[in-house]
Amino acid sequence: MHVNGVVERASYRTAARDVIDIVIPPPPGRDIVPEAIPLVVAFEDDALLVVDKPAGMVVHPAPGNWSGTLVNALLGRGGELATGGGEERPGLVHRLDKETSGLLVVAKTELAHRKLSAALAARTIRRRYAALAWGHLAQEETRVDAPLARDPRDRQRMAIVPGGKAARTTFVRVARFESVDLLRAHLHTGRTHQIRVHLASLGHPVVGDDTYGGGGGRRLAALPPKRHFLHAAWLTLPHPITGETIELRSPLPADLRASLLAVARLPALADHPDPLDALGFFNTNATDS
């Protein structure tokens, strides 16, 4: 602190007509530190990387999560990452919620990032999620077109809000069990918590989703704490350089596989290497494209 051009102590008592200059330093930044965290890679070449993200991993650093994120792990692998996503989101083309597992796209070069971002906006990247929802949807196929924004009553949640960002999801029932539906959820847009909020709006929240009303009945669904049944299982995208169509599938992780077997009660399903495939999850039709 300067008073009348002279450095003074913080205990200085001001007087009338003193001219006080205070310099407020900028807030300290946080360096994003590379970390040796193992990742499951579903696809990789010089332009593109697709990671099979585990549940419990935050995608990028933010207050409260400056380490242990997917970005820390990507930096720990070394190699090039596009910078178009920003300093704290190098290479990221889209995100997954912390407790959502599955396939996530990362761009290695600036050209790949631009083209993948454009493909995402043009909806030529198709992302389909496996979800268990409590109860039974009224129809075999349900489309929800409802805008999303921060919940004005709770900024930690998203909500359907008039004037929010456009959001559209198609839900197709793959299998109907006693207390839940297994759904294939196709994102036409990519808003935060989109699938979770849209299903909750139908009165059928994602099984295990504490935030949007699906957290009860964990023991019935054999789910561990803080885990919801949502998995980015199927990804189709044009390669950003060659244009070739890439199709990738991610099998259910062990916790969700155990949950599906618990609610399905089909002994033969346990012997199949991929229960989703056995139930027809990867069979689509024109309306689900």
Q: Which two tokens stand for residue 186?
A: 């196709």
- No. of helices (H) and no. of strands (E), the chain: 6, 14
Q: Kind of pairing, strands 101-107 and 230-238?
A: parallel
97 is catalytic: yes
Instruction: To the nearest 10°, report the CA torsion of 213, 216, 220, 226.
Output: 80
Cα(232)–Cα(55) distance, integer angstroms: 11
Q: Scan for tokens 């970390």, then name that residue.
A: 35
Classify the phi-psi angles of 124: left when phi > 0, otherwise alpha if psi is within -120 to 50, otherwise beta: alpha
Residue 146 pairs with which residues in a beta bridge?
Answer: none
**CA 69 remoteness from chain centre:** 13
Nearest-angstrom CA–CA distance, 196 and 109: 32
Counting Cβ atoms within 10 Å, is residue 155 exposed (0-12), middle (13-18) or buried (19+)? Answer: exposed
Give the CA radius of gyration of the chain: 23
Q: Which residue in 31, 46, 52, 97 is the catalytic one?
A: 97
Residues with active-site annotation = 97
